[in-house]
Structure 1
Amino acid sequence: MAEVEEKAKQGSTLRHLVRALRSRNYRLFVAGQGVSLVGTWMQHVAMSWLVYRLTGSAMLLGVVGFTSQIPTIFISPVAGVLADRWDRRRLLLVTQSLALLQALFLALVVLTGIVQVWQIIVLSLILGIVNACDIPIRQSFVVEMVDQREDLGNAIALNSSMVNGARLVGPAIAGLLVASVGEGICFVLNALSYLAVILALAAMRIPPATKTGQARRPILHDLREGFLYAYRFGPIRSILLLLALVSLMGMPYSVLAPVFAKEILHGGAHTFGFLMTGAGSGALAGTLYLASRRSVRGLGLVIVRATLLFAVGIAIFALSRDFLLSLAALALAGFGGMTIVASCNTVLQTILDEDKRGRVMSFFTMAFIGVAPFGSLGAGTMAGIIGPRDTLLLGGLGCLAGAAIFARNLPQIREKVRPIYLRMGIIQEVADGLETAAEQPPLRESGDLKSDGA
């Protein structure tokens, strides 16, 4: 009898862990996106190896990485406006189709033997532009795929779990394929993987969204409106600023990890690979932790604690000279970093106004991805001046400062969130930390926005 009860309890726990999958559209998304993410990581590894094989230049590796991320700063805000105006599913069909064509062209130039570095840089820039459009649209589309609003946090956590699961599987497959048959096959398989997402999107049944006729207004008008909304509403502003700070000062630890693997831990490529696996494993654990939470209540405090763990993990890694300690430190940093990002995503998605969802998620994309190239550039420059160890310690201190400021503002953040739930008649859901809601708050008046502070 006890064994039967234990099995039933385990089954109930598993169903709770993946409860967002009870939504048909989200199940389709997970199936398609899971395949595509493995292909994406395969292409990422194969492209980096291809550039280094052709040039032997670490600088050109940085150039390729920079061109793939810098479009986010300039293009994501416009994509956010389009996400608030047009059908998001159709927009994603366009972006995924363009990404497929990019992978096919990359495979073509490699397999025919005509590949040159400038072609890779141009194709990397094209993919960066496509991703700058795709990411905010995809983030704002999650809420349309989930039937039950209370499953939104779980859906975001499961999506992050897929990313980190693919981060562990994709590079391993790419390494085997590159060593045996070359880089070209990785690009072919990535192109084919996009078909899974396209077919999943085509099979979804999404109720037509009611748009407010804003398409006739200039894009800059809508962009300004979204920026003022995010800036004047204290909770959104605080979350975006913390995320940007972490991305600028903390996340570049991965750029300096090869230096630590070789110069401090006296290892090679395999040491670097193990370190990145440790960080990925910690990130995966973080997403599973968030998926297991029965409520998103208290996420404000979770963000503070995760930022502290992230900063401590970076600092320990910077000071460590032992491989196992460095591995554990990066696992801790990976857990904290992914918990920060997924928690911030969940909070934003649950407190923003529906008609501004695309624009706010584009600012989220800018804060997380768009700032990253500048952080990487700054970390590389600082490492050359003060050394990699002090550079990471400085980044960890910056993250600690960000956590302290966010913690100090947390009472004001709770105060600004509370009236939203009061107006919605769900005051019983308000507790310590940031709360979620079963439906979106009504559009707030401009006068209310002006009175908000962090």
Structure 2
Amino acid sequence: MNVFRSLKYRNFKLFFYGQSISLIGTWMQKTAVSWLVYRVTGSALLLGLVSFASLIPSLVLSPYAGSVVDRHNRYKILVITQVVSMLQAGALAFLILFKVYNIPAIIGLSLLQGIINAFDITTRQAMMSEMVDNKEDLPNAIALNSTMTNIARIAGPAIAGIILSTFGEDACFFGNFISYVPVLTCLFMMKLNITVIPRAQKSIWLELQDGFKYVSGDRDLSSLIVMLTVSSLFVIPFNTLMPIFAKDIFSGDAKTFSWFESAAGLGSVISAVYLATLKTDKHIVKIMTIASFVFGVSVMLLGYAAKLPIALLFMTMTGIGMMAQTSTINTYIQTHAVPAMRARAISYYVMAYQGMIPVGSLLIGWLANSLGPRGAVCVEGVIGVLSTGLFVLYKRRQNINIPTAGKGRLRWLNA
């Protein structure tokens, strides 16, 4: 089928299958950590703090990670990050097995995982072009990668909900630990010809400056990253409060919480499959704009949904909007950034996406304490709608289009 055309490449197929299993384990652990922290502490603020610890390294380290990935063999970096992630998952599993519900320790291990992810995510995204021989199939590979991620987002929480209520949190953590075996096996089976782009011996600091100049000098690229930054800071963190919605607002349990995560994952898969069918990225910015509006409206309506089925419907819509927004921005960067700067451009995407969410998680935790969880989620939805409107006005005023971005890249190359 045309939608799966990038799976004809052996390296991408191995990557796809290995990561599919590993990501299910990752979402199982993520669901279990959120449920465990809220069950033990009953604190929305601590719930936000755990999310903050797991993602804040992406804000600080992503530009540095981009420079490191551009300098070194991406395959070797990916193997190292997967091995260290497996060790981190094992440490967390044993901690919970012996019922050591030490919140500072859980936060510390979440911080370690965040540091690993700052390098791992940038490396995986930058390697996409190395695994797909025909660059015309790269947007399809990116969309399938997003589909894989979001299928795991459905399956992981759903499985976690069953395991949590049947066996307890420790089983979820051991499941994540074991899930790294297939991904490492697939990585060792890959045959990649990774070329490290030769460059003058510059310091990391100078390469960081080059990356910032390149990204800020391309107005199309920079405007999309700013849009993603606003969304990650003020809209995407609404998901932090879903354990409160499941347990307190809708009087549910761990299974109810898993339904919220799975509903968002279902919407994301619907969105990703649609993006995978696109034959061109010609209308990518327009799709991103529509998706951002859908995302904001859905979050706003979710805030005051009266019944659980209605809340799950709006949660599905948030998945459609958020997935299309983030994936289209990722696709634009991967297909428009010059090869010498691709990893650093991607690192700013990771910083804007993963890096701003932890700050937003703390903000919505504070906001929920002030306005209540429903009011906080509604406010985030309103911000999403307003930011989309401002983005549309900016694009119309500047009359920026894709050829302009090409000129921006030429200006950078000639500088």
Provide the TM-score with structure 2 as the length reference.
0.91
Q: Are the structure 2 counterparts of residues 42 and 303 from structure 1 closer, same or farther at C-alpha, using a change threshold of 3 Å? A: same
Which moved further from structure 2: 118-127 or 81-90?
Answer: 118-127
For residue 106 of structure 1, the aligned residue among 92, 95, 116 is 92
Alpha-carbon distance in 2 for matches of 1:319, 1:117: 31
The answer for the alignment partner of 2:34 in structure 1 is 48
Q: Alpha-carbon deviations, 1:6-37, whole Å to 9, x = none?
A: xxxxxxxxx11111101111001011101111
Once residues 349 and 408 of structure 1 are traced to their aligned partners in structure 2, the CA distance between those partners, rounded to angstroms, is: 25
Does residue 306 (structure 1) correspond to residue 291 (structure 2)? The answer is yes
Q: Which moved more, 1:69-78 or 1:86-95?
A: 69-78
Q: What is the SS of the residue equivalent to 1:20?
A: helix
Match for residue 76 of structure 2?
90
Are 1:132 and 2:97 an aligned pair?
Answer: no
Of 150, 160, 163 in structure 2, the residue corresponding to residue 177 of structure 1 is: 163
How far apart are 1:377 and its partner, in Å?
1.4
* Displacement after TM superposition at 1:209 (Å): 0.9
- 1:52 Cα shift? 4.5
Summarize deviations over 1:232-271 as a string: whole Å, max 9, x none.
Answer: 1101101100011111121122123344445655655554
Q: How does 1:253-402 map to 2 (within 5 A)?
A: 253-261=238-246, 265=250, 269-402=254-387
Mapped to 1, the partners of 2:62 and 2:323 lie a distance apart of 21
Structure 1 gap ranges (5+): 1-14, 424-440, 450-454
List runs of 5+ in structure 2 lacking aligned partners. none
Amino acid at match of 1:225: D
**Whole-angstrom CA distance in 1 between matches of 2:32 and 2:76:** 30
Partner amino acid for 2:219? G
Matched, 1:222 2:207: yes
C-alpha displacement of 1:309: 0.8
Is the CA contact (8 Å cut-off) linking 2:70 and 2:196 kept in structure 1?
A: no
In the alignment, the residues of structure 1 paired with residue 140 and residue 290 of structure 2 have an alpha-carbon distance, to the nearest angstrom, of: 20
**Counterpart residue number, 1:246:** 231
1:260-306 deviation digits (Å, cap 9, x = unpaired):
44565565555444333322211111111111222222111101111
The structure having more radius of gyration, on CA atoms, is: 1
305-314 or 254-263, larger mean C-alpha shift: 254-263
Q: Is the 8 A contact 1:71 1:125 kept in 2?
A: yes
- Find the aligned partners of 1:128 and 1:179 in 2 and give their Cα distance: 27
* 1:143 paired residue among 122, 129, 136: 129
C-alpha change, 1:446 and 1:326, in structure 2 (3 Å) is same
Letter in 1 for 2:172: C
Q: Which moved more, 1:288-297 or 1:109-118?
A: 109-118
Which of 16, 19, 25 is matched with 1:39 structurally? Answer: 25
Is the alpha carbon distance of 1:161 and 1:415 closer, same or farther for their aligned partners in structure 2, counting shifts above 3 Å? same
Question: Mapping of 1:189-228 within 5 angstroms?
Answer: 189-214=175-200, 216-228=201-213
Answering whether residue 123 of structure 2 is matched by residue 158 of structure 1, we say: no
Distance in 2, matches of 1:385 and 1:399, equals 20
**1:128 CA displacement:** 1.2
Whole-angstrom distance in 2 between the partners of 1:64 and 1:82: 27
TM-score by length of 1: 0.84
C-alpha RMSD of the superposition: 2.5
Q: Verify the 8 A CA contact 1:146 1:152 in the aligned structure 2.
A: yes
Give yes or no for contact 1:264–1:321 (8 Å, CA) kept in 2. Answer: no
**By how many angstroms is 1:100 displaced?**
0.9
The answer as to whether partners of 2:161 and 2:255 remain within 8 angstroms in 1 is no
Q: Please state how far the C-alpha of 1:177 moved relative to its aligned partner.
A: 3.1
For residues 100 and 266 of structure 2, the distance between their equivalents in structure 1, rounded to whole angstroms, comes to 38
Q: Which moved more, 1:59-68 or 1:198-207?
A: 59-68
Distance 1:115 1:273, change over 3 A: closer
Please point out which of 406, 410, 413 is paired with 1:444: 410
Aligned twin of 1:75: 61
Describe the shift of the 1:355–1:90 C-alpha distance in structure 2 as closer, same or farther (beyond 3 A): same
Q: Which moved more, 1:307-316 or 1:45-54?
A: 45-54
Q: Contact (CA 8 Å) 2:246, 2:253: kept in 1 or not?
A: yes
The whole-number CA distance in structure 1 between the counterparts of 2:137 and 2:3 is 10
Separation in 2, partners of 1:341, 1:105: 31
Larger RCO (alpha carbons 8 Å, 6+ apart): 2
